[in-house]
């Protein structure tokens, strides 16, 4: 397997595998862009390049990835970068910064295309078109690892056994669908541990959203039938499910079982609701994704619709970055490939224009999906109407984006004027702390800029230094800022990578601002504006006081747009800090002192807790009692006893 210079496996998340080794070549020169040095680095690589398909990465003097590209023949493709006169200005700048290259050969060009998309997602190079979307897509999962399968929302890697349905465009759309599915099919949504410890039905059974298999209100056969109906519905067979429920409702009514008939009527209503909310008149389309691109003033918007089984599972607009002098067709192709790095492709993909190397993209996506994937540009029928609908949505999203950007730009100009900054801030960092009586202390940093919140740049800090006193807000803020700026100084001392803030917003007043200023001065950090946001009298929103580092205070009218903007930033930092603290606290609630005992895994921990009841009882147990616990050997009993009684033995 190929490896990077750092020794990490360079294996994609898909099924692509590589037979050749990867080599890294570098020509070190000045850190300043130099076209001759860049060409020399590329020519040095060319001497040993094979005439095979593969992927190349261009890196600068610091080792940061500038560009990821694929080639049918690596030697021919890379040699083009040495013919500087034929390159665009953008590519000339890239070559001038290049000081090294990393090469991976693949079995064929389709594998190279897949690997290119994977590496672009991983490294986010400055000269590649980037799918600028930090949200993963949610799916509905019906698990297959339990006698009574659970239905749930799922994000991330698809490791659990079961059937996945999606993608859905947003958490809201998947939550709405899940709620309707619970009413319709009465499948359980609780965790396995909750399910195993029930002795009576929960509230979901009372409100007719679960069939209560946990307490045997339904037998395995009946529950399996509900699971089958749910899978049929999610696979696009809603009509057969509707007919089945109608027939059962009629039979119940004829048998004068009016309670069951009413329950089936409610399920039928839920089915009608979910069909209405997902209706897009996509009959005959089956499983398909629809992509359309709009461009105005150099800004691109790609609109994606997700159709599964003829049902609309939502749509999302994305705005790719680094699209400078790239053709619209190339922007759409790059966006799609990065999109399918996260999401399995459907059988059909409809686009509003033909893609460059469309046959190759089809081959690559088919290889990834393990079945045939077709890309088409429809010319007649309902499919044309769907594509036109996607085009219209892309244009409208672009117009909304332009309006929001102009408003955001004006707000940033007003912030610069209010706080006397040299220019509108390109990066605003907002800090907040959260704890309860000094426990589970965390610091949080959120980032805002010209395009709104930059959630991929959010950071959380577990307060862990021994000198930071529990509950000391000043000490917590000092630790957070020292760690954040120490890393910035180490990774970007020249402030060239856009990760240094132009403005720091601190939740607090004069004291917090003074403490932050002292921390930055001690680290040699200058030219970063600091503003404290203190709540006004009675902590009322709208009466905030802004404290500047020179001691001045500013108050804004309650209906001032800049005040609303700064409140949103402060509230987002507070939300993120509280959420981080709650997650840490919830994790702490399920930990046990047994976790600290070396050599005790989950199975033995469970055996001890089942036998003694609590971790405290295990700690207080004698060696003889520990040996009597089922599944605990004499050696393990000795380990547990010695761990909890070591201090007492030393004291004696």
Which are the contacts of 135, defined by CB distance < 8 A and separation ≥ 6?
Answer: 455
Q: What is the mean pLDDT of each run of 10 residues along the chain (652 residues)?
A: 38 40 42 78 90 92 91 92 89 92 92 91 89 75 91 85 85 81 87 86 88 91 89 77 79 79 75 57 74 90 86 84 87 92 90 93 92 91 88 90 83 91 91 79 89 87 82 83 89 81 89 88 87 74 82 87 90 89 70 70 75 76 82 80 64 42
Residues 249 and 334 in one domain: no
Predicted pLDDT of residue 499: 85
The enclosing domain of 582 has a CATH number of 3.30.420.340
Q: Are 188 and 214 in contact (CB under 8 A)?
A: yes
Are residues 268 and 166 both part of a single domain?
yes
How far is 355 from 94, CA to CA, in rounded Å? 25
Residues 234, 144 share a domain: yes
Answer yes or no: do 457 and 548 share one domain. yes
Q: Is the peptide bond before 512 cis (omega within 30 degrees of 0)?
A: no
Residues 466 and 550 in one domain: yes
Residue 367 in domain: yes
- Rounded distance, CA 64 to CA 55, Å? 16
Q: State which of 572, 588, 604 marks the end of a domain.
A: 588
Closest CA to 172 of 137, 132, 204: 137
517 in a structural domain: yes
DSSP-based three-state secondary structure for 36 = helix
Same domain for 336 and 391, yes or no, is: yes
How far apart CA 444 and CA 581 sit, in angstroms, is: 9
Q: Would you say residue 134 lies in a domain?
A: no
In contact, 393 and 303? CB cutoff 8 Å? yes
| pLDDT of amino acid 8 | 39
Give the C-alpha separation, 47 to 65, whole Å.
Answer: 21
User: How far apart, in Å, do the first and last CA atoms of the chain sit?
Assistant: 56
Domain range enclosing 233: 139-277
Is 371 within a domain?
yes
> b vs e for 46-76, b when ≥16 Cβ sit within 10 Å of the residue's Cβ?
eeebeebbbbbbbbbbeeebbbbbbbbebbe
Report if residue 259 sits inside a domain.
Answer: yes
Question: Domain for residue 604, yes or no?
Answer: yes
- The single residue listed with the structure tokens 């070190």 is 28
The CA distance from 348 to 338, in Å, is 17
Q: Count of domains in the chain? A: 5
- The answer to whether the beta carbons of residues 65 and 125 sit under 8 Å apart is yes
Q: What contacts 74, CB < 8 A, 6 or more positions away?
A: 49, 50, 51, 52, 53, 54, 56, 103, 105
pLDDT at 29: 41
Distances (CA, A) of 549 to 334, 353, 478, 553, 567: 45, 54, 16, 9, 19
For residue 412, is it within any domain? no
9 found inside a domain: no
Q: Select from 159, 145, 157, 211 the least CA-distant residue to 181.
A: 211
CATH assignment of the domain containing 105: 3.40.1440.10
Residues 437 and 567 in one domain: yes
Q: Which of 98, 123, 148 is the last residue of a domain?
A: 123
Identify whether residues 446 and 584 lie together within a single domain.
yes
Q: Assess whether 464 and 519 both reside in one domain.
A: yes
DSSP string, 203-271: HHHHTTS---GGGTSS-HHHHHHHHHHHHHHHTT-HHHHHHHHHHHHHHHHHTT-HHHHHHHHHHHHHH
429 contact partners, CB below 8 Å, separation of at least 6: 445, 446, 447, 501, 503, 504, 505
Phi-psi region of 441 (alpha: psi -120 to 50; beta: other; left: phi over 0): beta
pLDDT computed for residue 94 by the predictor: 92
Domain termination site, one of 239, 257, 277: 277
- The number of residues in the chain equals 652
Are residues 509 and 466 part of one domain?
A: yes
For the whole model, what pTM was predicted?
A: 0.68
Task: Tell whether 51 and 148 lie within a shared domain.
Answer: no
- Per-residue model confidence (pLDDT) at position 580: 81
pLDDT of residue 232: 83
- Burial (CB < 10 A; 0-12, 13-18, 19+), residue 634, is exposed
Same domain for 187 and 267, yes or no, is: yes
CA distance 227 to 189: 12
Please state, in angstroms and rounded to a whole number, the distance separating the CA atoms of residues 392 and 396. 6
Taking alpha carbons only, the member of 152, 140, 141 closest to residue 194 is 152
**pLDDT for 30:** 43
Question: Which residues fall within 8 angstroms of residue 404, CB to CB, at 6 or more apart?
Answer: 452
């Amino acid at each position: 397997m190929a490896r990077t210079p750092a020794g990490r496996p360079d294996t994609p998340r898909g099924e692509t595998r590589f037979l050749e080794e990867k080599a890294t070549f570098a020509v070190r020169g000045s850190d300043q862009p130099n076209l001759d040095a860049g060409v020399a680095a590329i020519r040095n690589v060319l001497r040993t390049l094979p005439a095979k398909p593969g992927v190349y990465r261009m890196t600068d003097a610091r080792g940061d990835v500038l560009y990821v590209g694929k080639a049918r023949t690596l030697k021919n493709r890379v040699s083009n970068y040495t013919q500087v006169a034929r390159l665009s200005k953008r590519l000339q700048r890239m070559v001038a910064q290049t000081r090294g290259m990393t090469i991976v050969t693949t079995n064929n060009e389709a594998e190279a295309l897949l690997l290119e998309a994977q590496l672009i997602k991983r490294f986010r190079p400055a000269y590649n078109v980037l799918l600028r979307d930090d949200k993963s897509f949610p799916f509905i999962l019906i698990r297959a690892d339990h006698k009574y399968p659970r239905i749930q929302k799922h994000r991330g890697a698809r490791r659990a056994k079961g059937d996945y349905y999606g993608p859905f465009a947003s958490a809201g759309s998947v939550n709405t669908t899940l709620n309707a599915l619970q009413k319709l099919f009465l499948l359980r949504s609780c965790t396995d541990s909750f399910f195993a410890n029930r002795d009576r039905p929960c509230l979901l059974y009372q409100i007719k959203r679960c069939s209560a298999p946990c307490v045997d209100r339904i037998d395995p056969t009946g529950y399996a039938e509900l699971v089958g109906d749910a899978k049929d519905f999610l696979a696009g067979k809603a009509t057969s499910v509707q007919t089945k429920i109608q027939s059962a409702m009629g039979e119940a009514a004829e048998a004068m079982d009016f309670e069951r008939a009413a329950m089936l009527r409610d399920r039928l209503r839920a089915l009608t609701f979910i069909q209405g909310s997902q209706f897009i008149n996509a009959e005959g389309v089956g499983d398909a994704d629809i992509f359309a691109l709009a461009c105005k003033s150099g800004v691109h918007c790609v609109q994606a619709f997700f159709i599964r089984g003829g049902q609309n599972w939502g749509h999302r607009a994305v705005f790719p970055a680094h699209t400078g002098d790239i053709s619209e067709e190339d922007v759409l192709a790059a966006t799609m490939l990065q999109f399918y790095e996260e999401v399995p492709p459907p059988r059909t993909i409809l686009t509003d224009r033909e893609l460059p190397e469309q046959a190759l993209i089809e081959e690559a996506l088919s290889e990834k999906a393990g079945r045939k994937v077709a890309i088409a540009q429809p010319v007649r029928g309902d499919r044309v109407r769907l594509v036109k609908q996607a085009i219209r949505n892309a244009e409208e999203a672009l117009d909304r984006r332009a309006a929001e950007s102009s408003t955001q730009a004006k707000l940033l100009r007003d912030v610069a004027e209010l706080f006397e900054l040299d220019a509108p801030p390109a990066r605003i960092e907002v800090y907040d702390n959260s704890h309860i009586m000094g426990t589970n202390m965390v610091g949080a940093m959120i980032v805002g800029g010209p395009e709104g919140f930059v959630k991929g740049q959010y950071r959380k800090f577990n307060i862990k230094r021994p000198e930071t006193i529990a509950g000391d807000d000043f000490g917590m803020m000092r630790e957070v800022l020292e760690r954040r700026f120490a890393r910035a100084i180490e990774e970007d001392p020249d402030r060239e990578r856009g990760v240094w803030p132009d403005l720091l917003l601190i939740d607090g007043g004069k004291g917090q601002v003074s403490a932050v200023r002292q921390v930055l001065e001690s680290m040699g950090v200058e030219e970063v504006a600091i503003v404290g946001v203190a709540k006004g009298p009675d902590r009322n929103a709208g009466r905030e006081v802004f404290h500047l580092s020179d001691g001045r205070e500013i108050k804004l009218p309650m209906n001032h747009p800049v005040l609303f903007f700064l409140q949103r930033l402060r509230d987002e930092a507070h939300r993120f800090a509280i959420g981080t603290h709650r997650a840490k606290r919830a994790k702490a609630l399920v930990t046990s002192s047994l976790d600290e005992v070396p050599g005790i895994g989950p199975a033995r921990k469970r055996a001890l807790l089942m036998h003694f009841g609590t971790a405290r009882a295990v700690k207080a147990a004698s060696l003889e009692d520990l040996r009597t616990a089922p599944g605990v050997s004499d050696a393990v009993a000795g380990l547990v006893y010695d761990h909890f009684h070591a201090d007492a033995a030393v004291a004696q």
